[in-house]
Structure 1
Amino acid sequence: MRLLPLVRPGRQARLEAGFESIRRLRDARTPEVVCLVAAIVPSLFGMASLEALPGISSWRAADGGGPSLAVQWLNVVSMPLFRFVGALWLWRFCLWVHLLWRLSRIGLVLRPAHPDGAGGIAFLGVVQARFAILAFAGGLLICGEAANQVLYLGETVPGLRFLLLGYVVGVTAMLLAPLALLAPTMLRARRKAMRRYDLLGHRMARRFDRRWTKLPALAGGDSLLDDDDASGMADYAGGPYQAVKSMSSMPLSRGNLLTIVLMAAVPLVPLVFLAMPLAELFARIFSTLF
């Protein structure tokens, strides 16, 4: 396991036990049954959101006034399936948050000079970004409801901009919040490492000063450019010291953040075509570019 080298030997067994516990919960049948029941029950009692909008004819209603076959399929198959898959992903997200909580309490031994910029645990941000599918699913619901408001209830897309922007920002913050559990550990590791590396840098600078700044001249063929002290200081300042100094406070990269934001925003793109006809949109793009 990639996390075992980051844990003291005396605590590795505890970490493995935590992993095994989460695996059992992930593979258990009971949570899946609960999710299935939670997905089906709302359809048994009907959903207000499945009713046609007042005074507006819709594919939801059949000629006789009852629900159409399409809405029955939506109510019996599509929506329960959507809720079931979404509930399973939420359950796995909860297990992931529980794992991060365990990691925050087990005492990770981070390497602040690690080139990944997160003390060696940047891969946790990659895993976190996989839950962006939840943001995508929520975006589909928001887009559908917003489209109804625009098409049938007189709303405008600009009038809904705060709702749409709030969703993208809110769901992104919600999905990234669990990584903040590791922030105290990472900040503490960075602070301790900075003290050590500052001291080491001071010693290197003092040695460099003693050798070069107090000499009357560079005699005997000595060359500052060829000196090991000079190149060592340059490598140190631009390598491990800079890595420690720029270590992030959470195992999160710009790519991870961008993935979640895009997954939340992409389902909302069809609303752009409600605000502006496709032909007009392309005409404006063409006039801007050319």
Structure 2
Amino acid sequence: MGGVLANEAELYFDRGGPVQRFFHRLALRLRVDLTLRGRILGFLVLTWVPLLLFALIEGRALGASPKESLLQDFATYVRFFVAVPLLIIAELVVGPRLRGAGLQFVHGGLVRAKDFPAFDGAIARAAKWRESAWADFIILGVAVIVSWTATIDTVYGEGLATWRSPTRSGGPGVSLTGLWYHLVAVPVLLYFWLRWLCRLLVWGKFLWSVSRLDLALIATHADRAGGLGFLGTAHTSLGIFAFCLSAVLSAEAAFLIVFEQVDIETFKVPYAALLVVAELLLLGPLLVFVPILVRTRLAALREYSLLVDRYNRGFHDKWIGGAAPADEPLLGSADIQSLADLGNSFRFIQEMTAYPFSVRAILQLALVTSLPCLPLLLLVMPVGQIIELLAKAVA
């Protein structure tokens, strides 16, 4: 397929954009390590290390209460030591899978030759959206605004004392810990989140463009999705984002359970909502292929019904009606195997789904989303009781 697509090299979603290029050039000039480990360490040096130093100086590392103590805030550990590092790792996990899935449309013969220019145009538009300076600057602006306004302190009242408060409790003056948290640490964290959300939107728009093409789907494909099953496999890698969100929510819940004795039952609805949102957000974009999958299945059912009818009548006339040659034995006849193969093909069409992902993909995403919630059980239930419940569930 080499040379078919002029923009094939531009089909990627894990990197790019003016902000990333600026920091990449800055890191090269400063001779900063740009490996995966170097980027994670650089993020922690920029965000967590100053927070800890300022908190130690101002007495907010271990304050008068858990809410006023940086080192007792479970969610902060998860945000900076789990969530963002995983978002950086996602560049190596999610990025190649989305690119591979995009190219599979051409390399797998799903895009017809007449649609190569249109597919190439879809790549070009995705690259334009990905490299948009306006999008990057809007993401930065939203990250700064949200980190300063949408906080516990502003939502629930300025009188609520936490280690994140930008003002000193009990006296005038500002807190360096709070200022660094709201003006540097959280904006950087939110930028990673919003940037990936933007890239997933670009990927979704690319899929929508591809779904408008006259794809050469195969109704008898063994994946029961007309040959688009590779999309569901690629999207299971997006579970890393659901894991991050669930981990932050679980850390917040752990803080409330440990220090404020909140009942674990309180979090059933938020977790159920997270599970639904994760499934819709990560698998929902693939629903753009529902119309073409439905059309392919209905057309194949009509065509193969006629084929099966003709073959079955011919088989009946030959072997039941007595039209078979006298010197052709029934035992070992290829007609029987062909009849079985045709039946299997028709069954594949009947079982073809209207969406390019399997129930297994849904369950895998649900499992990944639920994993960070499991440690919460250890806070309210003895290990022996948990093992006993699991044993009963398996039995």
TM-score, normalised relative to structure 2:
0.62
In the alignment, is residue 230 of structure 1 matched against residue 336 of structure 2?
yes
Shift of 1:224: 2.3
Q: Which residue identity is paired with 1:3?
A: F
- Specify which of 259, 264, 289 is matched with residue 364 of structure 2: 259
Q: Which residue of 1 aligns with 2:41?
A: none
- Gaps of at least 5 residues in structure 1 are none
Q: Which residue of 2 aligns with 1:3?
A: 105
Q: Which residue of 2 aligns with 1:33?
A: 137
Shift of 1:54: 10
Maintained 8 Å contact 1:186/1:249: yes
Q: Which residue identity is paired with 1:15?
A: F
Q: Which has the higher contact order (CA 8 A, sep 6+)?
A: 1
Q: What is the number of residues matched between the two proteins? A: 287
Map 1:45-124 onto structure 2 (within 5 A).
Answer: 47-48=151-152, 65=169, 74-124=181-231
**Cα distance, 1:27–1:250 mapped onto 2, change above 3 Å:** same
2:318 is paired with a residue whose SS is helix
Q: Which residue identity is paired with 1:161?
A: K
Q: Which residue identity is paired with 1:227?
A: S
2:390, 2:359 → 1: CA distance?
Answer: 28
Map 1:1-290 onto structure 2 (within 5 A).
Answer: 1-4=103-106, 5-44=109-148, 47-48=151-152, 65=169, 74-215=181-322, 222-238=328-344, 240-278=345-383, 280-282=385-387
Q: Mean Cα displacement is larger for which, 179-188 or 100-109?
A: 100-109
1:181, 1:104 → 2: CA distance?
Answer: 6
Q: Which residue identity is paired with 1:181?
A: V
1:225, 1:82 → 2: CA distance?
Answer: 71
**Cα distance, 1:140–1:97 mapped onto 2, change above 3 Å:** same
Shift of 1:246: 1.5
Shift of 1:274: 2.4
Q: Which residue of 1 aligns with 2:61?
A: none
Q: Mean Cα displacement is larger for which, 177-186 or 72-81?
A: 72-81
1:106 is paired with a residue whose SS is coil
- Gaps of at least 5 residues in structure 2 are 1-102
The alignment yields a C-alpha RMSD, in angstroms, of: 3.5
Maintained 8 Å contact 1:112/1:193: yes
**Cα distance, 1:128–1:50 mapped onto 2, change above 3 Å:** farther
Maintained 8 Å contact 2:250/2:372: yes
**Cα distance, 1:24–1:266 mapped onto 2, change above 3 Å:** same
After the TM superposition, which parts of structure 1 deviate over 4 Å for at least 4 consecutive aligned residues? 49-62, 66-74, 218-222, 282-290
2:208, 2:381 → 1: CA distance?
Answer: 46
Give the % identical residues. Answer: 25
CA-to-aligned-CA distance 1:214-241 (integer Å, 9 cap, x gap): 239x995643231121111112212x22
Maintained 8 Å contact 2:294/2:354: yes
Shift of 1:285: 5.7
**Cα distance, 1:75–1:277 mapped onto 2, change above 3 Å:** farther
1:54, 1:160 → 2: CA distance?
Answer: 26
1:58, 1:280 → 2: CA distance?
Answer: 36
**Cα distance, 1:78–1:267 mapped onto 2, change above 3 Å:** farther
2:190, 2:308 → 1: CA distance?
Answer: 56
Q: Mean Cα displacement is larger for which, 243-252 or 52-61?
A: 52-61
1:3 is paired with a residue whose SS is helix
Maintained 8 Å contact 1:129/1:256: yes
Maintained 8 Å contact 2:153/2:165: no
Q: Which residue identity is paired with 1:162?
A: V
CA-to-aligned-CA distance 1:243-290 (integer Å, 9 cap, x gap): 222212111023422332123212222322222144653576689999
